[in-house]
């Protein structure tokens, strides 16, 4: 896709959101089904069913997806798509490349071994390795705007209000 094609695609959406900001509010949903025989949750992705289970560091087999891995994969997916959109909009030539995310967890927190150990990632690193002839200035702009517009990255940086409810 070329820059002008992306602009033409997004222009009516942007105008609609300017005219009626409420149209820009979209509720995304995810659902999963608890397995009654295994420590797992079957998550509907819209394209496939992902079976999530315990990480091997907490007693899992490693045959099921770990939710920490899924979080990093969501970050990679969002950052990769955002980077491609920004590069396209700014006509920065990116022929390809790779996006990687890695995060550090202390499983003592998750397993309740230590109250001092945090539950969750203590650090996440996101890296782009790009096949491009873009200038250093273009790449700095690309990184800055990708960070700014990546939904998952911004959600991790500035957590939303989160509520939890249990019903029968």
Q: pTM for the whole thing? A: 0.91
Considering the domain boundaries, does residue 43 fall inside one? yes
Distance in angstroms (rounded) separating the CA atoms of residues 128 and 83: 9
Considering the domain boundaries, does residue 91 fall inside one? yes
Phi, psi (5° rounding) for residue 50? -105, 130
Residue-wise pLDDT tens digits, 97-147: 999 999 999 999 999 999 999 999 999 999 999 999 999 999 999 999 999
Considering the domain boundaries, does residue 70 fall inside one? yes
> Domain containing 52 — which CATH number?
3.30.300.20
Torsional class of 72: left (φ above 0), alpha (ψ -120 to 50), beta (otherwise): alpha
Domain containing 15 equals 3-157
- pLDDT above 70 covers what percent of the chain? 100
For the chain, what is the domain count? 1
- Residue 81 in this model has a pLDDT that exceeds 90: yes
Kindly state the average pLDDT of the residues 11-27: 93
Considering the domain boundaries, does residue 87 fall inside one? yes
Considering the domain boundaries, does residue 167 fall inside one? no
């Amino acid at each position: 896709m070329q820059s002008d094609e992306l602009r033409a695609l997004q222009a009516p959406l942007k105008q609609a959101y300017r005219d009626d900001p409420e149209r820009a509010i979209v509720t995304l949903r995810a659902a999963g089904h608890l397995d009654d025989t295994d420590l797992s949750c079957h998550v509907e992705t819209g394209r496939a069913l992902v079976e999530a289970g315990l990480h091997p560091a907490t007693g899992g087999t490693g045959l099921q997806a770990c939710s920490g891995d899924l979080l990093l994969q969501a970050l990679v997916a969002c950052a990769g798509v955002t980077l491609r959109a920004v590069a396209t909009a700014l006509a920065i030539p990116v022929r390809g490349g790779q996006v990687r995310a890695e995060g550090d967890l202390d499983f003592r927190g998750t397993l309740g071994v230590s109250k001092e150990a945090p539950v969750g990632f203590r650090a996440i690193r996101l890296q782009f390795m790009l096949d491009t002839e873009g200038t250093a200035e273009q790449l700095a702009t690309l990184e800055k705007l990708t960070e700014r517009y990546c939904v998952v990255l911004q959600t991790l940086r500035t957590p939303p209000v989160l509520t939890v409810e249990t019903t029968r």
